[in-house]
Structure 1
Amino acid sequence: MFGGFNTIGFAFTTKSLGDSGWGWNLALGILVVILSIVLLLHPVFTALTITVWTGIAFVSLGVSFCMLAYRLSKTNSLLKK
């Protein structure tokens, strides 16, 4: 939630400096504040969300490691020649 308020403040700071993209920062900050309030009010939803995103992160990491291993095995065979 603090990060959302910080982003909102940053948006207004960049607006005063003449940045044309300050609205995106403002929208992101408001979205973060709203989502953090939802997560605070619904602890079961929070637990499910954390579980799902952690699972997605582990699967993505596993796929990345498999791709890295495949590429390294091809490199290893090229180096042996």
Structure 2
Amino acid sequence: MGTVALIARVMPESPEIDLVALTAEIRKQVPGLQDVKEEPIGFGLKALKIAVIADDAAGVSDEVEAKLNAIKGVERAEIIEVTLT
């Protein structure tokens, strides 16, 4: 079994959400977090684009997505790319 890189887009509930605090909470909740970048969406709203390295197991992308969506301040999180590492 190998590892996969999961790229996810995390949309905050509003432009007023503190992205630094949100990033800190994501780091606590999601093991394997490697990188976080802000991505402008429009009208002052920014998304977080994150990279997570995880074991290549069935359902790992669903598990990471569920953890992200459970974080307070996250409107929606979705896995946008999965690649083998």
Q: Please indicate the TM-score interval, normalised by the length of the shorter structure.
A: under 0.3
As a proportion of its length, which structure holds more strand?
2
Q: Radius of gyration: which is bigger?
A: 1
Per the normalisation by structure 2, the TM-score is 0.25
Query: Normalised by the size of structure 1, how large is the TM-score?
Result: 0.26
Higher RCO (C-alpha 8 Å, min separation 6): 2
More helix by share: 1
